[in-house]
Structure 1
Amino acid sequence: MMAGKREENPAGSSNNLRGDVLGVLKVATAEQIQQIALPHLSYRHTDKPTPSKRKQARTASHTGALSDLHKHGLAENGGQLPGGDTLRNLTPMGLKTAARELGRPVGETGNPARGAGRTGASHPMTVNEAALALQRPKPDLAQLTGEPADVLAAAQAAVDAPAGLGTIASYATEVALPTTGTWSNSDRGGAQADIVITSPEDGVPLLFVEIDNCHESAQVLAAKIDKYMRFCQRKVKDVDGTERPMWRTRWWAPDGRHGDQPHPPLLLVFNRASSRNPHTVSAQLAELTRRHWQGTAYCCDREGSPGLPGRQ
């Protein structure tokens, strides 16, 4: 997960299997790291007799890499999931190393996600699965030579499926969006994006993602969206003394088609992990947040030029 010169480590792993994924996800299982870093391994070891044996074989390299990170003081165990999978997270020193690998300021990698396993880590795991679903890592077919025909067909189908957004370096998680204070010392009343995606090459220069395991009411989610809006409306002075939206001092996005400056989009992801109906919540949420998304109707004058709101 740390790039650079390839070198062998005590557990038999090499450093191209180590690091930056945990720098983004904060806490993850070896299988989640494998699915993002080396997706072709998901199509290997199909001859093993049981699912647990197949998983063990697929994740052996990353389990070894994580063991090496632990020996070097860069990673630690973060508890266990109810199914028995061990959670891993980086230490403060590991986060600094991951920040260098990702080319980010150290402060942007956040804090260690310690103790997530004590509460089951249901929300972090959903965030990870959402990131995996949005990125859609493609297997390298060249690494699957000699695999059975049905396995190759499944891998080819994954390659042929619609592309996802960016690479792991396009993602950040648990990003504070301050309504007061600074990026590094934000207020408690601000928003926190579960995922931020920057993938301009895919037509998505900036996207905020909010994850809900169907535990929160429409009212709670509406309050969160209010915080996102307050952040997007906040203006600060940039280094050149020009006042601009705070988010534009950190991320790039094009101006609107008519010279306006639209806010970044927010994707709300529901994971039906409880009895709350996401369709009902969505309908209620749409009404509660209408003032944020309905916009203002602009008319054109007789010559076809944009006019004032509500005027011909």
Structure 2
Amino acid sequence: MLRVLGVLKVATVEQIQQIAAPHLSYRHTDKSTPSKRKQARTASHTGALSDLRKHGLAENGGQLPGGDTLRNLTPMGLKAAARELGRPVGEMGNPARGAGRTGASHPMTVNEAVLALLRPKPDLAQLASEPADVRAAAQAAFDAPAGLGTISSYATEVALPATGTWANPGKGGAQADIVITAPEGGVPLLFVEIDNCFESAQVLAAKIDKYMRFGQRKVKDTGGKERPMWRTRWWVPDGRRGDQPHPPLLLVFNRIGPRNPNTVIAQLAELTERHWKGFWYDAGFHMYDGKLPIVVTGMKQLQEHGPAGAVFRRFGRRQNQTLLEAIGNPRREAHDARKQAEYAARQREHQEELRRIAAQHRAEKEARRPVCADCGTRFTDERWKAVEPSGWGAPRETHPHLCDDCKQRAITAERQAEQAGHGHQEHGQAVPEQKAGGTWLSRLRG
């Protein structure tokens, strides 16, 4: 309850229930009238709001024309919500007191946009005992394309100061109806402006001028280096080299006022062209460095299809896209993907050529590898190296045509032959001495 009201600022009990406990939207289908079904679905949240009122955290904020009571947090409630959301109290904004006095048409449209972008999923385990048709409806909602982030990914009525500070904005700045930070969903930062079709294209163009001034504003960080002011509060990946656009702006038109949104959109695109028009590159894409991506859609289309539907039109493009495509640069991404694929292909070709050359060298080396003259075995690398000619001072290889095993056998055989030859020579020398000695003795006797 605190988290939802901390984000929305003012809401009906049913809107709180749809975000905080979406499975309840599929219960109590057996009640006889829509009002009774609604009362049953929101009973627990109505009781919780009563408890928050008793503790001074929430209060009634008036009524809508249809009779629904608006609820908002007190200053103490905002502090409690800040703890629940993990945000500084200074980022929570002000209590939305008195919103019901004017019908709260704009805050209610903001809440409906949050619901359409968030698309809360029902907890199917909470509906296990419900009838089959109820479970089927909940399953269909569960299986539908997901929305963006969680309720903690959203903030409303966020000041974007062109002068002054975050805490004390000066004149000339914008105030975003919704700020979405859902990097896990591909949307690190998105500003959302809601229009109920009461404002002219000129008034909206003036608002976009303020967004542009905020995006261009730079401040010095703790190291004395200038950086965009919005980067001191929100994290967004660095843009690619030479292409760093400002955070994108989504305009949601809710056709309850007298103006035709199609006419307003066409005029607005012309009035703000200098802010959003990119630079064409012959490679087949635009670059948007220093530009403000502006995307438009209708509330009914957003509620029906959500951010995954092709119901978003970016200024300067001719076709509708999904939200991620509209705020991105698909042509640049496709170009980069092609370049990466071409580079990868060249790398593979280069590696294949290196493998081919290496295989050819191995084959040529094997063809030159010596063969043992005795047993016919090819030399090992060590043996081949040993028989290769070396420097002048290196000892000469005694058996360069034999492998290691045959060399050892040859050396052994040579040693045995040498030993046998020495023994025979010694024996041959001893016999003549005896004969010579005998002849001398016989002479003496004579």
Query: TM-score, normalization: structure 1?
Result: 0.89
| Residue among 41, 50, 70 paired with 1:58 | 41
- What is the rounded CA distance, in whole Å, between the counterparts of 1:252 and 1:220 in structure 2? 30
- What is the rounded CA distance, in whole Å, between the counterparts of 2:79 and 2:222 in structure 1? 26
Counterparts in 2 of 1:72-221, with a 5 A limit?
72-221=55-204
- What is the rounded CA distance, in whole Å, between the counterparts of 1:253 and 1:46 in structure 2? 44
Code of the aligned partner of 1:203 = G
Q: Which moved more, 1:58-67 or 1:235-244?
A: 235-244
* Matched residue, 1:226: 209
State the shift of 1:135 in Å.
0.3
- What is the rounded CA distance, in whole Å, between the counterparts of 2:10 and 2:77 in structure 1? 12
- What is the rounded CA distance, in whole Å, between the counterparts of 2:90 and 2:121 in structure 1? 30
State the shift of 1:168 in Å.
0.3
Larger radius of gyration: 2
State the shift of 1:213 in Å.
0.3
* Matched residue, 2:255: 272
Count the aligned residue pairs: 284
State the shift of 1:188 in Å.
3.1
- What is the rounded CA distance, in whole Å, between the counterparts of 1:193 and 1:110 in structure 2? 12
Q: Tell me, yes or no, if structure 1 residue 238 matches structure 2 residue 212.
A: no
* Matched residue, 2:50: 67
- What is the rounded CA distance, in whole Å, between the counterparts of 1:41 and 1:239 in structure 2? 48
- What is the rounded CA distance, in whole Å, between the counterparts of 1:99 and 1:239 in structure 2? 25
Query: TM-score, normalization: structure 2?
Result: 0.63
- Give the structure with the higher percent helix: 2
State the shift of 1:298 in Å.
3.9
Task: Let me know the Cα RMSD of the aligned residues.
Answer: 1.1
State the shift of 1:53 in Å.
0.4
Q: Any idea what the Cα deviations from partners look like across 1:48-82, whole Å, max 9, x if unmatched?
A: 11000000000011101110000000000000000
Code of the aligned partner of 1:160 = D
- What is the rounded CA distance, in whole Å, between the counterparts of 2:141 and 2:282 in structure 1? 45
Q: Any idea what the Cα deviations from partners look like across 1:4-53, whole Å, max 9, x if unmatched?
A: xxxxxxxxxxxxxx311000000000000000000000000000110000
- What is the rounded CA distance, in whole Å, between the counterparts of 1:57 and 1:123 in structure 2? 27
- What is the rounded CA distance, in whole Å, between the counterparts of 1:137 and 1:27 in structure 2? 19
State the shift of 1:123 in Å.
0.1
State the shift of 1:291 in Å.
0.5
* Matched residue, 1:251: 234
Q: Tell me, yes or no, if structure 1 residue 48 matches structure 2 residue 31.
A: yes
- What is the rounded CA distance, in whole Å, between the counterparts of 2:281 and 2:242 in structure 1? 14
State the shift of 1:296 in Å.
2.1
State the shift of 1:240 in Å.
2.3
Q: Any idea what the Cα deviations from partners look like across 1:241-298, whole Å, max 9, x if unmatched?
A: 2110000000011122224322100000000011211011111100000111112234
Code of the aligned partner of 2:127 = L
* Matched residue, 1:28: 11
Structure 2: state its 5+ residue gaps: 288-446
- What is the rounded CA distance, in whole Å, between the counterparts of 1:185 and 1:296 in structure 2? 36
Q: Any idea what the Cα deviations from partners look like across 1:87-135, whole Å, max 9, x if unmatched?
A: 0000000000000100000011100000000000000000000000000
Moved over 4 A (4+): none
Secondary structure of 2:177 counterpart: strand
* Matched residue, 2:318: none
Secondary structure of 1:179 counterpart: coil
- What is the rounded CA distance, in whole Å, between the counterparts of 1:298 and 1:235 in structure 2? 28
- What is the rounded CA distance, in whole Å, between the counterparts of 1:237 and 1:67 in structure 2? 46
* Matched residue, 2:435: none
Counterpart contact for 1:177–1:192, Cα < 8 Å: yes
State the shift of 1:299 in Å.
4.9
- What is the rounded CA distance, in whole Å, between the counterparts of 2:222 and 2:242 in structure 1? 22
- What is the rounded CA distance, in whole Å, between the counterparts of 1:246 and 1:179 in structure 2? 9
Counterpart contact for 1:180–1:190, Cα < 8 Å: yes
Secondary structure of 1:232 counterpart: helix
* Matched residue, 2:358: none
Counterpart contact for 1:255–1:262, Cα < 8 Å: no
- What is the rounded CA distance, in whole Å, between the counterparts of 2:147 and 2:170 in structure 1? 33
State the shift of 1:239 in Å.
2.0
Percent identity for Structure 1 against Structure 2: 85
- What is the rounded CA distance, in whole Å, between the counterparts of 1:299 and 1:178 in structure 2? 37
Secondary structure of 1:99 counterpart: helix
Secondary structure of 1:297 counterpart: strand
Bigger RCO of structures 1 and 2 (CA < 8 A, at least 6 apart): 1
Q: Tell me, yes or no, if structure 1 residue 292 matches structure 2 residue 281.
A: no
Code of the aligned partner of 1:237 = K
- What is the rounded CA distance, in whole Å, between the counterparts of 2:242 and 2:74 in structure 1? 45
